[in-house]
Structure 1
Amino acid sequence: MKLGFFNIDEMLASGSSSHLLAWMEFFNEEPWGAEIEDYHFGLVSSVLANCHRGKDTQPFKPSDFMLKSSADSEPQTVDEQLSILNAMVDQTNGSNQ
């Protein structure tokens, strides 16, 4: 593998605790991964949306465009799920007429 170790055990055995701490400090200063990428795309999307929003529209925030995890929200009740499903069916039936 060009970019690193293929074997995780080998990687862990070859590193020192100071090396791990240095990587942890670097991550705190320059985070990477899906969460920060999601924020970056949310930021760009909010800037574009705010450039084109109406005067009476509230400004968009990056979080308006970021993915939400299931841990961020309350679970839906069966009644809420049925209501959403019924609205989708009603909308589909209305578009066929």
Structure 2
Amino acid sequence: MITRRELRLFIEYYKGIVLINAPLSLLLLLFRFDLVRILIFYCTLGFVLALGYLKLFRNDDYIFYHNCGLTKTQLIVAASGINIIAVLFIYFTVVWFTN
């Protein structure tokens, strides 16, 4: 069972990923990609690039999360789940409003 504290930590970790991933994905708008391709990039390559950035430049953050009782695997799995849910929500919201 996930506690409220752990949920807040997962969301904080995900915000760090979004701050890197969203601008990368929005750059695709400059190349006139459609929504589906942008969302696929956001969910796959953009997510992996954001994880790589965190690993290279903010690796000390993982020590903080580890001290709070969360492993790197738990953080990545939770962020992946939140990422997929967010992408599906955005996609179905846009499709619903455009039809």
Same-fold call, TM > 0.5?
Answer: no
**RCO comparison, higher one (Cα < 8 Å, 6+):** 2
Decide which structure has the larger Cα Rg and report it.
Answer: 1
The structure with the largest helix share of the pair is 2
Give the alignment's TM-score, normalised by structure 2. 0.30
Give the alignment's TM-score, normalised by structure 1. 0.30
